[in-house]
Amino acid sequence: MAWIKTLGKKLHGYGVLVMFQHTIFSFSFGLVSLLLASQGAFHWRKIALLLVGLLAARTGANAINRVIDAKIDKANPRTATRQIPQGKMSQKEALWLAIFCFVVTVVVAALLGPVTLALSPIALLFMVGYSYTKRFTALCHLVLGFTCAMAPAGAWIAITNSFSWTALFLAGANMFWVAGFDIIYGSQDVDFDRSYGIHSIPAAVGVKNGLLIARLFHAIAFVCLVIVGLVTPQFGFLYFGGLLIIGILLIVEHAVVRPDHLAHAEIASYNVNEVVSLVFLVAGVLDVFI
């Protein structure tokens, strides 16, 4: 059964390449959006397709990012240990993984209906194009956030073939939340970014101002989540209880990073927000079903 062991190692390598554990960042918003849009009439076929599509889109986006940024990752001491710079996986293999995932994404979009199929090229454009934005604009964090926000927006459209204020504020929360913690994450690379010509908000305005902008983005995201709760009949005590926990987590996130102390930047930007995602997912799902 050596082939099973080999397959397991290969899948593990792909998981490390695309940081699979971070799939939760868009998955939670996408699933909550899907359940709200269904309004109790759950279309299990669509739900299954959407979950596959979300997983494929996110995996493909991260894989193509690793291919496009391979040279930058190799030059940056912090990212030089990633799969491609270390020679543990070739750019060609990662590219084929991305292509496969994007094909799956388009097939899923086609199976969901003509509206989602028509919108799929726009989603693919942002998933591929995001990686290039850091080469010319400090607003790359917002582009990443917008790309991730396509998960709840797309899930809503797939179920209803329409859009709504609830979907808009869910997408807005997803966008500003991701953009905020991406700024924190990018604060680690200010010196490298400036020397290598990479654009980011911390590199453009300094770490101190960058962290203030991240706080603003997270405040906007939190307000969007509150509005979602207020305009959504399915949400009540459990959802707002979850928001209270999320608010505390966001405060902790910003408390552990300072301009002169970025040792916990990765914990703040990734680990804390993995918990934020899970809290949002659990609170949202429970309030829909209970």
Length, in residues, of the chain = 290
Residue 16 lies in a domain: yes
pLDDT value of position 155? 92
Residue 2 lies in a domain: no
Give the distance between the most distant pair of CA atoms in the chain: 55
Closest to 122 measured CA to CA, from 155, 161, 150? 150
pLDDT value of position 79? 87
Residue 3 lies in a domain: no
Identify the segments of the chain with pLDDT beneath 70: 1-7, 9-18, 20-23
C-alpha–C-alpha distance, residues 104 and 120, integer Å:
11
pLDDT value of position 88? 86
CA distances from 237 to 43, 91, 248, 283 (A): 26, 48, 17, 9
Closest to 222 measured CA to CA, from 169, 267, 268, 270? 169
Residue 117 lies in a domain: yes
pLDDT value of position 89? 86
Residue 72 lies in a domain: yes
What is the domain-level CATH number for residue 176? Answer: 1.10.357.140
Residue 64 lies in a domain: yes
Counting the structural domains of the chain, the total is: 1
Closest to 270 measured CA to CA, from 173, 211, 182? 182
Whole-number average pLDDT of the chain: 91
Residue 214 lies in a domain: yes
Residue 75 lies in a domain: yes
Residues 6+ away with beta carbon under 8 Å from 159: 34, 37, 38, 43, 46
Contact 52, 175 (CB under 8 A): no
The pTM of this model reads 0.93
The first and second tokens of residue 126, run together, are 């942002």
229: containing domain: 11-285
